[in-house]
Structure 1
């Protein structure tokens, strides 16, 4: 459903400029996009109507906040996208006859006063919520969004939904965490620029984090930390090519030698040479 996130980001920019009417107009535009999407997403009239009503209710519940500009936070606005998507997906699975449960991220995902995941709270919340879903195998929740230590709407700031998945895997002690993207895992070079780049079947957490930091944009480097803490393997798979093996990331470094090359743009190197301070390292004091 392209364009929804862009529309919400535009809304935040308008909110910062206190252009209240323009924010309301943009919200109406995004709402219409989601309602129109229900026409193609659902087959049965009953579920199509429920989907449209779901979208309308989410925006109706949110509309009073539009009068709070400029106190309306960007985090509040951006959260709508995840809430809309997961509610419609939950309804879509119901139409397909797949039993599922929707657990709101605001009820389980929290960061502490330092902006880091509150693992104890998350684990306790998930344990309680999952008990109420006994017998249901498909659990849906939102990525990226959460609450902070004051109970306010917040977000994880980095790593997006992949980071949420890794945190959740850590909290429940998962056997593995699967991340589905549109590429066959990590490659030994950037396939956008290098012909013949091939997927890497296995990486250690350290290798994967380094590749991510130095330019491999498939995942944010922070994504690996929650799984690395408990030794939970991370498996990268391709939604467009699900039979491909992908990349398995574990605590084990199985091979030596060069596995991949990554490049990072926009780096400036500064070389300082002082003739009056030979072999000295105190020039930063000057």
Structure 2
């Protein structure tokens, strides 16, 4: 049986939840699926906004957003639930959660500080609202269902905002609390994204962490598969907002999916891949609006990949906007050791990750997306070298099978970039991706040219649909 994770657009309103219930019903066999749900679309963003409004002493705006969240879920209940007593109990629950949110708003306003721990408390309500409503609707429709607070089973460290699971404790909890219910044919509906530390305080796995929750549960429960239900037909050859004719990938490897995730593809959260890879659990990315579509299978199983991977085959194109290029130049680099260690220590000390790097004898260029500490980074780097910065750049990443060792692929990539100024190139660090940096103003032109080069004549194959 699978773990089925539904994203925010899949549970956005009553009609979307009704559709999800029908999808779940089709998966119920002798053992039941574990259902992991995100908050309704847009709710987490409102919770973030109202939390910051409270910290900035703009409580009227915070309470207004709280009321919008309450009204949204009341509407979903009224549209989805037919039984009057069940509607009443759900409305009471929504009122209770809303009162708790408002209490948090008042507390943050009084203290004047929004800590990661408090922000996690705010975050958690989106999933608590949506899963209670979804579970109740399933029960009303005759599906044996139990709602489960994920904080009872997913135990994490104390890194609020970016918590990591304590695997042994979580494994034991799943085996004793969840597995018997599933084996008895009871669908368990729980939250993605949230957990709790050993002290019982709410933690979150980071934005997009519902995918990670599903992967953790699927790996530890040894499920047959993990299904990620979203609002696109699977992993595509490119972002369809930029290239409407983008094609669906039928199959890809975990490594390819991870590269795409890191370099901007929005279908999967990067952390999702790790538990699935470790336990070799296949991941299906499917469209809840078109459940008949086969979606994309992500796996490392050689039998499932047979005939699906060909050396030099480009699978997809991803990109990351809002990059800043930092160029560091110094003759001290020439023939010396330790220089790069000093450079990267600056980024470590300023808690800033580097996305891409390119080096020569006397210079190093790298890109960052988090510019919060950029001024301090520049000042620190000036102790070692000359520094200049370029803004409004974008990374383009071409992902596929054995690109590094395939003659001609790089030539095709850069021949397609006619008229586009390339600022940095990274090839060789990864077997499966070729990346380069360009100006954001050239991004659409570059991506469309690449897609035309590699996918204009691809259709109906074993790999693409």
TM exceeds 0.5? yes
How many residue pairs get matched? 286
1:264 to 320, 343, 367: 320
Cα distance, 1:33–1:277 mapped onto 2, change above 3 Å = closer
- Once the two structures are TM-superposed, the CA of residue 65 in structure 1 deviates from its matched residue by 4.5
- In structure 2, what is the Cα distance between the partners aligned to 1:230 and 1:161? 18
Query: Which residue of structure 1 aligns with residue 95 of structure 2?
Result: 56
Q: Is the 8 A contact 2:155 2:165 kept in 1?
A: yes
State the Cα RMSD in Å. Answer: 2.6
Q: 1:4-23 counterparts in 2 under 5 A?
A: 4-20=43-59, 23=62
Query: Which residue of structure 2 aligns with residue 94 of structure 1?
Result: 139
Shifted more, 40-49 versus 93-102: the winner is 40-49
2:193 to 120, 138, 144: 144
Tell me the alpha carbon deviations over residues 40-85 of structure 1, each in whole angstroms, 9 at most, x when there is no partner.
1122333322322232233346655555333771211121111011
Unaligned 5+ segments in structure 2 are 1-12, 14-40, 343-383, 385-465
Tell me the alpha carbon deviations over residues 117-172 of structure 1, each in whole angstroms, 9 at most, x when there is no partner.
11111111111112552523311001101112443111001432111100111111
Select the structure that is richer in strand: 2
Are 2:77 and 1:77 equivalent residues in the alignment?
no
Cα distance, 1:25–1:243 mapped onto 2, change above 3 Å = closer
Cα distance, 1:127–1:196 mapped onto 2, change above 3 Å = same
Q: Is the 8 A contact 1:215 1:264 kept in 2?
A: yes
Query: Which residue of structure 1 aligns with residue 80 of structure 2?
Result: 41
Query: Which residue of structure 2 aligns with residue 179 of structure 1?
Result: 228
Query: Which residue of structure 2 aligns with residue 226 of structure 1?
Result: 275
Shifted more, 228-237 versus 43-52: the winner is 43-52
Give the 3-state SS of the residue equivalent to 2:317 in structure 1.
Answer: coil
Cα distance, 1:117–1:200 mapped onto 2, change above 3 Å = same
Are 2:180 and 1:129 equivalent residues in the alignment?
no
- In structure 2, what is the Cα distance between the partners aligned to 1:152 and 1:23? 23
Give the 3-state SS of the residue equivalent to 2:297 in structure 1.
Answer: strand
Q: Is the 8 A contact 2:179 2:221 kept in 1?
A: no
Unaligned 5+ segments in structure 1 are none
Shifted more, 134-143 versus 165-174: the winner is 134-143
Shifted more, 41-50 versus 143-152: the winner is 41-50
Give the 3-state SS of the residue equivalent to 1:92 in structure 2.
Answer: helix
